[in-house]
């Protein structure tokens, strides 16, 4: 091969290489799924020391979440028609399990916990197979579906005071509150989810919804937003947004709220708990609550002062 030929061959190789390489370089990375690619919002989440990035959750969301929650996050995935309750519509940015007051956005941690905990009595499984980083990425991704996350901050987390000891009195007072606050209207007198208003309940998308049945399940029974006493406390203070369950934050005092938690535990008749132990030790019957004088501490000190004077 002479020099001239070598040059010509080299030119040909170059031209061939350019032909092959150019179309690949000119195309974007192929998109997965039926929808055209959309520019990704650079959303982050912050859970402790972990920072989640929306872009890192894209593939996992499509693989594990979109089937129910939909590619667009609107709760209209292809499985949604078969599900009851329906998958969450992330475009509404209304969430059930929050540590924040009703009508506000949840914290990143609230969403992170929900993914890891799953939602009992629904098709949302416990996604604890994902790493903390992956769950944080999901949280960031979920926040791309509603513009509220750019305009609003998460609500203020509610304050939960230290839990007082469980006594038969606290259970008895809790039962009185359950009656007074009319929890039984939906949840039923025995907490079986069969109260007089239960049959007509609908969620905010007009789908029928059942009130929680406390009596079902044993030691493995879970409540919607966590199983610890603090999480039970939280649920009726924050309310379960998007459902008929309202917030009782304005109408119940912190210590009264703890008494209510203690009573609710006794409704879980087959679940082992300190509340059920206390109830058993007291003979298995909740005594009628005797209303204390509302000015009891003041009158007591008065009495003492009067006694001291005599």
Residue 208 CA to residue 203 CA, distance in Å, equals 6
In terms of CB distance, is 92 or 168 closer to other proteins?
Answer: 92
Select from 250, 305, 307, 308 the one that contacts other proteins (CB under 8 A). 250
Q: Does 239 bind other proteins (CB under 8 A)?
A: yes
Residue 99 CA to residue 272 CA, distance in Å, equals 26
Q: Does 201 bind other proteins (CB under 8 A)?
A: yes
Least Å distance between CB 205 and other proteins?
A: 9
Q: Does 241 bind other proteins (CB under 8 A)?
A: yes
Select from 141, 149, 212, 248 the one that contacts other proteins (CB under 8 A). 248
Binding string to other proteins for residues 56 to 75, with x set by CB under 8 A, is what?
--------------------
Least Å distance between CB 240 and other proteins?
A: 8
Burial of 206 (0-12, 13-18, 19+ CB in 10 A): exposed
Q: Which stretch binds other proteins (CB under 8 A): 29-37, 40-48, 58-66, 244-252?
A: 244-252
Q: Does 180 bind other proteins (CB under 8 A)?
A: yes
In terms of CB distance, is 48 or 196 closer to other proteins?
Answer: 196
Select from 103, 125, 147, 161 the one that contacts other proteins (CB under 8 A). 103
In terms of CB distance, is 131 or 179 closer to other proteins?
Answer: 179
Residue 34 CA to residue 16 CA, distance in Å, equals 34
Q: What are the φ/ψ torsions at residue 276 (nearest 5 degrees)? A: -70, -30
Tokens 């079986």 -> residue: 192
Cross-strand bridge partners of residue 51: 46
Least Å distance between CB 152 and other proteins?
A: 8
In terms of CB distance, is 180 or 280 closer to other proteins?
Answer: 180
**Nearest CA-CA partner of 103 in 112, 95, 111, 115:** 95
For 61-167, where are the alpha helices, taking DSSP H only? 66-69, 108-117, 132-142, 148-151
Q: What are the φ/ψ torsions at residue 81 (nearest 5 degrees)? A: -60, -25
Residues contacting other proteins: total by CB under 8 A = 28
Least Å distance between CB 244 and other proteins?
A: 3
Q: Does 244 bind other proteins (CB under 8 A)?
A: yes
Q: Does 247 bind other proteins (CB under 8 A)?
A: yes
Q: Which stretch binds other proteins (CB under 8 A): 11-19, 35-43, 124-132, 176-184?
A: 176-184
For 27-118, where are the alpha helices, taking DSSP H only? 54-60, 66-69, 108-117
Q: CA 106, 210, 127 angle in degrees (round to 5)? A: 45
Fill in the DSSP letter of residue 271: S
Least Å distance between CB 104 and other proteins?
A: 7
Q: CA 213, 115, 202 angle in degrees (round to 5)? A: 40
Residue 214 CA to residue 200 CA, distance in Å, equals 19
Tokens 């061959």 -> residue: 9
Binding string to other proteins for residues 119 to 148, with x set by CB under 8 A, is what?
------------------------------
Q: Does 197 bind other proteins (CB under 8 A)?
A: yes
163, 108 contact by CB (below 8 A)? no
Q: Which stretch binds other proteins (CB under 8 A): 37-45, 60-68, 177-185, 227-235?
A: 177-185
| Residue 111 neighbours by CB under 8 Å, 6+ apart | 45, 95, 138, 139, 142, 143
Give me the residues that bind other proteins (CB under 8 A), please.
92, 94, 102-104, 180-182, 185-186, 196-197, 200-202, 204, 239, 241-251
């Amino acid at each position: 091969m002479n020099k001239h030929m070598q040059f010509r061959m080299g030119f040909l190789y170059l031209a061939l290489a350019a032909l092959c390489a150019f179309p690949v370089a000119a195309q974007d990375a192929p998109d997965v799924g039926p929808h055209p690619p959309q520019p990704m919002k650079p959303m982050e989440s912050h859970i402790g020391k972990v920072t989640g990035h929306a872009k890192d959750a894209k593939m996992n969301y499509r693989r594990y979440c979109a089937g129910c929650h939909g590619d667009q996050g609107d709760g209209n995935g292809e499985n949604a028609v078969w599900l009851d309750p329906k998958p969450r519509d992330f475009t509404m940015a209304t969430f059930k399990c929050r540590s924040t007051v009703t009508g506000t956005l949840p914290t990143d941690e609230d969403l992170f916990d929900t993914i890891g905990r799953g939602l009992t009595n629904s098709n949302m499984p416990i996604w604890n197979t994902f790493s903390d980083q992956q769950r944080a990425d999901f949280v960031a991704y979920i926040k791309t579906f509603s513009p509220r996350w750019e305009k609003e901050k998460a609500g203020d987390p509610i304050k939960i005071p230290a839990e007082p000891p469980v006594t038969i009195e606290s259970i008895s007072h809790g039962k009185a509150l359950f009656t007074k606050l009319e929890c039984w209207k939906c949840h039923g007198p025995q907490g079986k989810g069969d109260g007089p208003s239960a049959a007509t309940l609908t969620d905010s998308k007009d789908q029928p919804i059942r009130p929680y049945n406390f009596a079902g399940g044993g030691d493995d029974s879970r409540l919607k937003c966590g199983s610890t006493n603090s999480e039970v406390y939280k649920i009726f203070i924050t309310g379960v947004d998007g459902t008929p369950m309202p917030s009782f934050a304005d109408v119940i005092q912190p210590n009264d709220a703890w008494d209510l938690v203690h009573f609710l535990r006794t409704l879980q008749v087959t679940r082992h708990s300190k509340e059920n132990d206390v109830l058993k030790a007291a003979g298995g019957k909740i005594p009628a609550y005797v209303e204390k004088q509302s000015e009891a501490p003041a009158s007591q000190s008065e009495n003492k002062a009067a006694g001291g004077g005599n």
